[in-house]
Amino acid sequence: MNSIAGTGKNRGKTAARDESTLRAGTQDALRNAILDGKFKAGQKLVERELCEFTGASRSILREALVSLEAKGLIEHQSYRGYRVARLSARKIVEIFELRSSLETQAAELFTERASDEEIATLNEALTELERCLVNFDLARMRATKERYYDTLFTGCRNEEIRRALANVADRIYYLRSRLLLDPTRREASLEDMRRLTSALTSRDRLAARSASLAHLEAARETVLQIMEQDDSETAFRAA
Amino acid sequence: MNSIAGTGKNRGKTAARDESTLRAGTQDALRNAILDGKFKAGQKLVERELCEFTGASRSILREALVSLEAKGLIEHQSYRGYRVARLSARKIVEIFELRSSLETQAAELFTERASDEEIATLNEALTELERCLVNFDLARMRATKERYYDTLFTGCRNEEIRRALANVADRIYYLRSRLLLDPTRREASLEDMRRLTSALTSRDRLAARSASLAHLEAARETVLQIMEQDDSETAFRAA
DNA sequence: ACAACCATAATTGTATACAAAGTATGTATA
DNA sequence: TATACATACTTTGTATACAATTATGGTTGT
């Protein structure tokens, strides 16, 4: 149970990514716990408990918390501590608006700047996605999708856009698994990505833009539907 | 010289904005020091010296540094500490690409969501800007410009976009004063803003988009010219 | 029963000392 | 000149103490 991020003695060896500093490792451990739903949305994060959980001292833990707050993953109130950030429907709309803006831009830039190798990687990832769909390998599907987008955002040669997108991506991460549960949506999403990939491969800027946009709008609609469902079941909302 | 953010005893009284926590105050003091050029780009930031400068303890200082790093204002290397982030020409292009994407989006959303009061505020700010231009009141011009953009980004009703833009805005802050030094650019910029304001006032989405885009492209060109000048004078570049 | 009130516990905010680990620098030696 | 080593300095991490604020739970008066 203890020493998730490694203690002073064996630090950096327990964590998945061999982070160079304990702070980075602690931060990563907390981030993973949140993304995996181990700490639920709205849950209060008590410093003492997190120290036990991560094995880090309070100073380091607090630094990690500050960083996660800056990324919008947790929220802070003076003398009332941190809680896991909650996603309102409104927030989701905002995030999708930001994504619409930046991802389409990224797609456009990709058509002009990506290397042929990157385009090849994109197509390989797509093929793997199709295999995953047939085999119902959802875990691998998610990993592959990440590889796909990672290539896309690298190929657009803009670290700032990549960074801004990474920040919001973390916050809607847990929704992805929900999206993949719907078989209809799964097939539709793949069709969207086929169109996008094809446009990117032929370096057709306008087509890439519209494909990216269509994909995002469909995803947004599905997410909002899921939210509505959840709200009618367990009724907590933070408008 | 000491106690920029206030010490334990008189905290919150020295700082300009009465920040609720010492950390927020310290962070603000450091941010201002960087934006005002007190700490130059690339300069190494030694913890001990910053403690003396801000009057904060190391715990607080380090938390502030973590937060500033997350905002991209400073950079960190393991066991080598923090330095003020450097802006390469490449980075500036990236930032302007991001702004092009998000600010045009914000302008579009503004036309659909802003209140009439916000539109009025925009027009007031514009009028004040014209007065400033005549009176050569550059300090006030900058403040007014901030009010203008603040209203714009509030009116688009998207905190995520606002936040992403705020992050990059800090990093190119010091370039603004440079921009305002060129009288030709000053007049051209104001003309751009007149067009934008007019489009926003009539809630013409497409016109707002193109006006916003034109403004940004002009600004980018000027910034890059300034960068080139600087490079030929004091030659340090971090491609 | 219920509301206001107070004492106490729990939690967060701040400060500081110290140890461990890595980096940078300078010097001696081959 | 170049390499190895010693040294000082910086960063990183821990432990601890105490202050400030909030949360909790019980008591009292009505």
**Chain A / chain B CB contacts < 8 angstroms:** 82
CATH hierarchy code of domain B89-233: 1.20.120.530
- DSSP run (H or E) holding B81: strand B81-84
Helix (H, G, I), strand (E, B) or coil at A83: strand
Query: In chain B, what residues touch A66 (CB-CB under 8 Å)?
Result: 23, 63, 66-67, 70
Fill in the DSSP letter of residue B82: E
Cβ of B78 near strand C (under 7 Å)? The reply is: yes
- DSSP run (H or E) holding A90: helix A89-113
* The pLDDT of residue B182: 81
CB B161 to CB A97 under 8 A?
A: yes
Nearby residues of B140 by Cβ (< 8 Å), 6 or more positions away: B128, B132
CA distance A100 to A69: 24
CB A97 to CB B63 under 8 A?
A: no
The sheet with strand B81-84 has its strands ordered as B44-45, B81-84, B74-77
CB A94 to CB B161 under 8 A?
A: yes
* The pLDDT of residue A14: 30
Confidence of residue B202 (pLDDT cuts 50, 70, 90): very high
Mind telling me how many Å the CA of B183 is from chain A's nearest CA? 30
- Same CATH topology for A22-84 and A89-233: the answer is no
Which of chain D's bases lie under 7 Å from a protein CB?
10-16, 20-23
Q: Which of A177-186, B65-74, B140-149 has the highest mean pLDDT?
A: B65-74
Q: Is the pLDDT of residue B15 over 60?
A: no
Q: Is the pLDDT of residue B91 over 90?
A: yes
Architecture of A22-84 per CATH? Orthogonal Bundle (1.10)
In chain A, which residues have pLDDT < 70?
1-19, 231-239
CB A161 to CB B101 under 8 A?
A: yes
Mind telling me how many Å the CA of A127 is from chain B's nearest CA? 30
Which of chain C's bases lie under 7 Å from a protein CB?
11-17, 20-24
Q: Is the pLDDT of residue B13 over 70?
A: no
* The pLDDT of residue B237: 37
- DSSP run (H or E) holding B63: helix B58-70
Confidence of residue B174 (pLDDT cuts 50, 70, 90): confident
Closest amino acid to nucleotide D12 (CA–C1'): B79
* Arithmetic mean of pLDDT, B184-213: 95
Confidence of residue B184 (pLDDT cuts 50, 70, 90): confident
- Concatenating the DSSP letter of every residue in A93-132 gives HHHHHHHHHHHHHHHHHHHHH--HHHHHHHHHHHHHHHHH
Cβ of B13 near strand D (under 7 Å)? The reply is: no
* The pLDDT of residue B234: 53
CA distance A94 to B156: 10
Mean pLDDT, chain B, rounded, equals 86
Confidence of residue B99 (pLDDT cuts 50, 70, 90): very high
* Arithmetic mean of pLDDT, B172-195: 86
Q: Is the pLDDT of residue B109 over 80?
A: yes
Q: Which of B86, B93, B101, B105 to mutate to test the interface with A (most CBs of A within 10 A)?
A: B101
Helices (H) and strands (E) in chain B, counts: 10, 3
Query: In chain B, what residues touch A78 (CB-CB under 8 Å)?
Result: 20-21
Nearby residues of A116 by Cβ (< 8 Å), 6 or more positions away: none
Cβ of B79 near strand D (under 7 Å)? The reply is: yes
The residue ranges of every structural domain in chain A are: 22-84, 89-233
CA distance A20 to A26: 11
